[in-house]
Amino acid sequence: MHPAPSVIIFTTLSGLGFGLLVWLGLGLLVPTGWVAFAFFVIAYLLAVGGLMASAFHLGRPERALKAFTQWRTSWLSREACVSVAALVVMALYGAGLVFFDQRWAPLGWLGAALCLGVVGITSMIYAQMRTVPRWRSWLTPALFLALALAGGALLSGQTVLALVLLPVAALVQIAWWLRGDRALGRSGTDLATATGLGGAGTLRAFEPPHTGTNYLTREFIHVVGRRHAQKLRSIAFALGYVLPILLLGLPLPHLAAALAVLCHVAGIFASRWLFFAEAEHVVGLYYGKRGA
């Protein structure tokens, strides 16, 4: 699929922001006063900034408020509702830490659960799509949650947690790639099922359905060469997982931690680009397109 920058920014930054809020809410990172204020500012800039970026991918951004009305059937609408609830609860919890030097633990636990729920719901926007076999797996929410928790631990300065969660996220990432590469073939979807002409015998594309591009070809067809994808995966894996783990073991902990965060964010941006670019939407079969 077309890797729109707004969605890449949204999924990367919001995951990091809500991941940091999870650890703040659980009380493993318990700063007060201005230190707490700084951590909450970082978390909210990432979480809210990511959510705002997603609005730029809407066909009619001015109608974004309608996203809150379909929560019974739409994962996107559920994400909007739960994210607002999470941000409000964590704002109240943060106010206690910053202004009153009070740790209202139950409120923090509720906020952490809601923040984790936001990440899980965001992942389900993609995991529930039958038209993208690469995404339709329990590994998709597992990957989103693992990255949010690992990135949040890294941002919060929880070195021990980060050194545990980063390898876990790396293993989930590898499993997601391996399973995804076989997903379209195993789905049983081909030109016959894409056109609905499976009973007519063996099908081949005589000529393309359209002579020019249209919305479907622009949004849902993006072919990435296998060799190019493998190079990008290596870069994403090295930056997102390997280098942060190595950096956290170096002396000068503050400098190493800062570099680890920068590497991790860069790696996850690359991974998210591949998440969308490698996703084969079945509509591409109708247009005679497959991964290179």
How many CA atoms does the CB half-sphere of 184 hold within 13 Å? 18
Confidence at residue 208, expressed as pLDDT on a 0 to 100 scale? 65
DSSP character for 250?
S
Q: Residue 193, exposed/middle/buried by CB under 10 A (0-12, 13-18, 19+)?
A: middle
Contact yes or no for 163/256 (Cβ under 8 A)? no
What's the pLDDT tens digit per position in 245-286?
999 988 887 899 999 999 999 999 999 999 998 988 887 777
Confidence at residue 87, expressed as pLDDT on a 0 to 100 scale? 96
> In what helix (H) or strand (E) does residue 76 lie, and over which residues does it extend?
helix 75-99
Confidence at residue 58, expressed as pLDDT on a 0 to 100 scale? 66
pLDDT at position 238 over 90: yes
pTM metric for this prediction: 0.90
Q: Which two tokens stand for residue 249?
A: 């073991």
Confidence at residue 291, expressed as pLDDT on a 0 to 100 scale? 46
Domain extents in the chain:
1-128, 158-292
Confidence at residue 21, expressed as pLDDT on a 0 to 100 scale? 96
SS (H, E, C) 37-71: HHHHHHHHHHHHHHHHHHHCCCCCHHHHHHHHCCC
- Closest Cα partner for 150 from 2, 10, 1, 19? 19
